[in-house]
Structure formats: C-alpha cells, structure tokens
Amino acid sequence: MKIAEILFWPVAMDVKYKEVEAMPDNYIDVCFFNGAIRNSEQKHLAELLRNKSKTLIAFGACAQLGGVPGLANESNAQEIFKTVYHNSPSTKNLTGSEPTQVVELAEGEVELPIFFDEVKPLDKIVAVDYYLPGCPPPPKIIFNAVEAIASGTLPPKGSILAPETAVCDECPRKKEEKRITEIKRIIEFTPVPEKCLLEQGIICMGPATRGGCDAKCLQANMPCTGCGGPRPNAEEQGAAMISALSTVLGIEDEKADNYSANELASQIKDPLGTFYKYALPSAIINKRYKK
Amino acid sequence: MSEYNPKIIGFLCNWCSYAGADLAGVSRFQYPPNIRVIRVMCSGRVHPSFILKAFKNGVDGVLIAGCHTPNDCHYISGNFKAERRVAVLKNLLTQLGLEPERLRLEWISAAEGEKFSKTVKEMTEDIRKLGPSPMKQEANE
Ligand code: SF4
Ligand code: SF4
Ligand code: FES
C-alpha cells in the first residue's frame, strides 16, 4: 500500500535545497527532521522545512535534545577551532590558518556555513509538533508514528511519540533493593547477568530515561546511557538521575564513622558527560558558562 | 559603582533551619538582607532541578539548610540525601563553569539562630568576593 511519496531525503536521494525552496508553504505533509542545530546551514534548513511542512517531527536525540554533539556546549566555537586547527596532536597547521567564511576561487565565491557557539535542539530554532526520541529511534516507535500519521491518529501537538514509561519499566533485569555502596565501571568487573546493573554499582540511566526501546542496551549487558531523553514527568534528565542516585548511593553507611558524601560523589568521574550525554543543549543549564 | 549585592536563595527545612532563622530574627541577630528564604518540609525535598533553575535564573548563591546529621531529620534521612545531591551537584556545577562555593549546605537546628546569621554573613561575603554569577547577565536579558 502506498501511503506517501518521499520528497526530500538528503542521505538517500538527490534533491537540491533549491527544489525545496520552490515548494509552496505547507506542501510537505510530514517532515522527520534529524540532527541538532550547530551552524547556519542547519538553521536555514530547519526554518525552510518548518515553512514547507504541515507537521514537523524532531526525529532522534539530536533534534529532540541536542544529542551527543551537544556535549560540545562545554566549549564554544573559538575553543573548538583552537583545538581542531591548532592544538590537536595530529594537526600540523604551519600557516596557522582557520576556515574563512568566504573564499574567492577562480570558479567563483565559495561560502561556508557559520559555525555557532552553541548546539541547540530543533525546538529552540522553530516550533516543533512532535518528538521521536532515541539514538537512533527504535524501529517500533518509528513504525507506530508512521501508522498514527497514516491513520490520522496522532496525539495532541507537543507530544513525545514514545510510551509513558521509564527504561526501568521495560528492563528484564531483576530488581530487588536499590542500595549501593560504591560506583563501579562496567570494565572493572563482570556483572551478574540477570540482575539490575544499578544495584551492582554501575551508573545506569534507566530510572531517568524514557522507555520505548525495550531496554535494548540492558539486553546487551550494557547500562542505559540515556538516549531516550528525560523520563516522563522529569523536568530534565540529569537532575532526575542525580536525585535517583542520591537516594540509593551510600545509604547503608550513612551512620558509619568514615562516611563521606563528597567521597561518594567523587566516584562519579564525569557527571556532565554521564548525566547529560544526549541532553545538554536542552537541560536547565545548557552549556558551560565563562567568567 | 555601589557595592555588589549578591542574591542568595535559601531553602530551609521547616523543622530545624527555618525555626533557626526565625530564632535569629526573634533574638535580633543581624544578618545581611541578601538571602531570600524558601521554606521546605525537609532538606531532602530540594530536588536538584530547583538548584539548577535557581542558578539558571541568575541567583549568585544557593543555601540548603537542614537538621543535623545523623539523627535530627524528621524524615529520618532526608538530610543525608540532600548532602549527596549537593556533593554531586557541586562537581557538576564546576563542569558548567560555576564556582562550587556558590552552593552551600549547612545543618542548622532550631536553637542555632546565631549559626544561621553567621552562615548568611559568611556566604554573602564569600560570594561578594567571587562576584556575580556568570549566568546572571544572560538571565537578566
Ligand atoms: S537501573 Fe538499569 S539495569 Fe536497573 S532496572 Fe533500570 S534500566 Fe534495568
Ligand atoms: S537502554 Fe537507554 S541508551 Fe539504550 S537504547 Fe534504551 S534509552 Fe537508549
Ligand atoms: S526535616 Fe530538617 S532536614 Fe529533614
């Protein structure tokens, strides 16, 4: 059954931006937009496709939350250029050059997109109708979304097209009592296969993360790193995870003489990278601030 | 320019620290007017998102005050939970470009009006030395 015609798909079809620009407004029924906004070309495309589409869906963790590339918000454009073009060990930049916006060549003028200071999720640039989480989005929820579109049963605008559950709710591992005495990394020991990883001291983002993936990573013996974004009703993922972890970590030893909250906290080596792996640009504090 | 006046949000638990602040008032212990107090039932009620939001909105410091550990929290261990949250948040805030001293945790009992006034004085001075929060400018825009 044919339910749609594909009009634009940069990775699979050769359709030029000009052809999209020539379409009347609202010509496209549904646009699945993937990727965060980091440069002026992406911003242009976001604005263009918003105008041309009746329904705009932020597809995947990058468009929804900023994604892994959003961790670059720990730096700004200048710092990134400094590392990439000057300081990285494999770089030999004898003339100290950096990309220039406009370059004159014999064939004409070549223009590069402007590299912004910050990575932003799609909804900080244009209005977004729906969100389809995941890195990558699980096939099942893509299929559900396509079905809802085809049958005209999409939920109210602004909805996240994934179940109202946390990853823990879908996780097949046995949960007993969450009390942990220390944080361990997955490379340091072999966890018991059927048991909740968090209960074994591994930071698993499951309690703070929206389900819909059937806890895929847990089925492959890896902790959830949070690609589904904040769990339902959580204001943001990092705060939800810090809260969850503080509830279970060290509670056995609170009254012991050598108990130290700071020592426990120091076992979490990179809180920013761990708790905001996919969601820094959409977090309450969405970047590193400079003095 | 006049002296920089930091803005501090204080989350005080109902059973100990809020009563301690009240005692400071009743006993006329002086403390700077830089703190804005929010009463919560327990220091364990302060979700990390409250603290992040306060900073995002441009406050210069956040004080969480609760009942003394190990045995005084009226909800048994809310204060321990608050202590771990604050410890993790300090490391996170450092990565986000904020001095960890801007977030402070103190145990203040209902009898420690003087400790409340001393804490607010110290904190105001410490933050005055640090200067305005780097998030302040953007929050005011
Ligand atoms: S914390 Fe991780 S391992 Fe434990 S139940 Fe949740 S998703 Fe599964
Ligand atoms: S378990 Fe977590 S990281 Fe893995 S697919 Fe699901 S949400 Fe993403
Ligand atoms: S009631 Fe005071 S800290 Fe819990």
In chain A, where the domains are located: 17-69+118-151, 77-117, 167-282
**3-state secondary structure string across B107-136:** ECCCCCHHHHHHHHHHHHHHHHHHCCCCCH
Q: Give the CA distances from residue A174 to residues A195, A200, A205, A210, in Å, rounded to whole numbers and listed in that order.
A: 5, 11, 16, 19
Average pLDDT over residues A13-22: 95
The model's pLDDT over B5-39, given as tens digits with 9 standing for 90+, comes to 999 999 999 999 999 999 999 999 999 999 999 99
The answer to whether B55 contacts chain A (CB < 8 Å) is yes
pLDDT in tens, chain B (141 residues): 467 899 999 999 999 999 999 999 999 999 999 999 999 999 999 999 999 999 999 999 999 999 999 999 999 999 999 999 999 999 999 999 999 999 999 999 999 999 999 999 999 999 999 999 999 988 888
How far does the centroid of ligand 3 lie from the alpha carbon of residue A6, in Å? 59
pLDDT higher than threshold 80 for residue A1: no
pLDDT higher than threshold 90 for residue A3: no
User: A196, A209, A218, A237: which to mutate for ligand 2, most atoms within 8 A of CB?
Assistant: A209
Q: Which residues of A130-140 are buried (b: 16+ CB within 10 A; e: fewer)?
A: bbbbbbebbee
For A263, nearest residue in chain B (alpha carbons): B87
Cα dihedral angle (B86, B89, B90, B91), rounded to 10 degrees? Answer: 130
Per DSSP, the three-state class of B1 is coil
The reply to whether residue B49 touches residue A290, judged by beta carbons under 8 angstroms, is no
Could you tell me the fold of the domain covering B8-140?
A: Rossmann fold (3.40.50)
Q: What dotted CATH number matches A17-69+118-151?
A: 3.40.50.700
**Does residue A58 line the site of ligand 1, with CB under 6 A?**
no
For A270, nearest residue in chain B (alpha carbons): B92
Atom of ligand 3 nearest to the CA of B41: 1
Residues of A in contact with B85 (CB under 8 A): 242-243, 246
Comparing CB atoms, the residue among A235, A261, A271 nearest residue B95 is A271
The reply to whether residue B80 touches residue A272, judged by beta carbons under 8 angstroms, is no
